[in-house]
Structure 1
């Protein structure tokens, strides 16, 4: 007998399910709230940092700084994989002192060679980015190692449901970066601004590690495996390509003005994914913990509501007043891109559903994490065939999104609604809320 029929025949059970769902949503929203607020503050702090440093440096120096910071941003893909893998690891094994030290030691051993290679290549970076001196290229090497350790520490905290500490690490990084940014940029220029960015990450790592190393493990601790990071990298990279392929190809196929319009519209549209991405990092460990437990379908529904709800709401708001948003951010030159903004905002909002479902596949170690790669390949193929205007490229992006969403939704709904035997001791009833 299906769960649905059982609920119809037993009103008390149906009420309990509704109560659990409401409570589960409250738990997820309370968990995601602090990190969403912290990421919003960090985003505002990043804009303030650029505004302050941009005024202290001349345009040529600011351009050099922007190039190195862009290289740091590109590390977001492997760092996202590290954080996701560490989050799943902590959800399964806990995150006490021994586990934390073993995980951080492993990540340090993995990233130290890359840091040394980057350090040795500082003269090449100086030449490629047209930097004024080696001091402007050297900070990238320690940043790589520190950022990897920080991503791992944040993932362990999220998996252990210490979301407030993660939020505190974002705030610590923002405060230190802003304070040192002004203090070091004046005497040291670009190198000072980069050191301020590095020290912000160090402050965040210290905030995260202090909480992680304060509690002992019940056992010897578990080490993070490269295979787990590789699995997370498949999902993270696939989602990145799926959500940005259109932007990269638009720059290639469109003329200067049309390309600028697409970049502006896509930037506006994809801002609706910033905060939901932060919420997803808090939701993922709960999906991991719930994957083999009764009530997991409720956890998935709650995750979709918590992550995609704000994204879809933001998309609707942007689609309702695209002209106003474009004028405020870019001026009257882009006023003609309102239809493009509308289309891309709605695509971004729906893409958030694919993001949640792909993370659900990752939580249950499914090969369905490859589906965004297939969606990205379809998107690239369509745009290669049809790219006559910005709206045509946006339509190709939407056309690739629809089948990808249908397939990943069908796969995950089937998997997460498959009945799981309840524990004989009835412990799941005592918890009252999904994991």
Structure 2
């Protein structure tokens, strides 16, 4: 896998995951709800009221009236700004969740792939031990090895079978983690590249304030600050203007009447100051949350980059050394044992070391890929990497 692009099959798999994952679907529904609330907040606050009155007495009265409260304090504007801020926060939360779900899937996918390779290596070890056990039985018959050495071969086969069961259990666990994200076993699993991911310098982290965590925190801060304006506007009373017209009949007299009235509530019993204080406290908390998120995001990037560089350097050094030549070493050991140049115990010790080293190499490769996905997430470039957008942030 190169830094410049992902494979089409991997990209398609992640986009399919985003379409089908229940967590993403729930976040998408929340985003649609936030969009609807933003549209609702932009609507006028007050609807007109219509009233009809009729009275039969000494004076017969027939009137109709219409009244409307006027938003003279700017409540609609404040609510609109808060709705848009909440929509921005919801969009940031949605993007962040998509990134986290993709990261979890990538880590589960790579873990399952490498667990499969470890299980295959465990099966190969069992096959080697079975072959060795058969050869040891034959050599015991002709007196080339002793009975204790023959028992060593049988014990080594039993140990290999036990370790294979452990590897099979690990593979099942890794596949279960993947199944929990996609809901079904993939019919055509995406293959993991054998080469290591690129060096961390191949991906330029996004500026701190453009990373998803900070976008979400700042959007929540903007929403909290907008709520202050909403609370301040809410405590200012709005007048209600009423217009009434009709007829009044008293005996032979029939007069037309028209009237206008203005009413305004008095904020005496509830001044609304407590709501403003609460909104300011929430805004202060959101501002502190932005600072805290800046610190944790910066520290996370440094930690994930250092861990990834260390693991990648170790895996690269292992791949270039003699320890990586597993097949050649196994063949050489059997040749030396057949020739009698090494004893049975030495052969088993060295073969076990070779297999354990090969398994450790696969584990190291898995850790490298896990660290790579963590680094991409911390750098704010995971979704860019998935979609093949790996240019410099300023040039995108």
TM-score, normalising length from structure 1? 0.22
Q: Tell which has more relative contact order, 1 or 2 (C-alpha 8 A, sep 6+).
A: 2
Higher share in strand: 2
TM-score, normalising length from structure 2? 0.24
Greater gyration radius? 2
Higher share in helix: 1
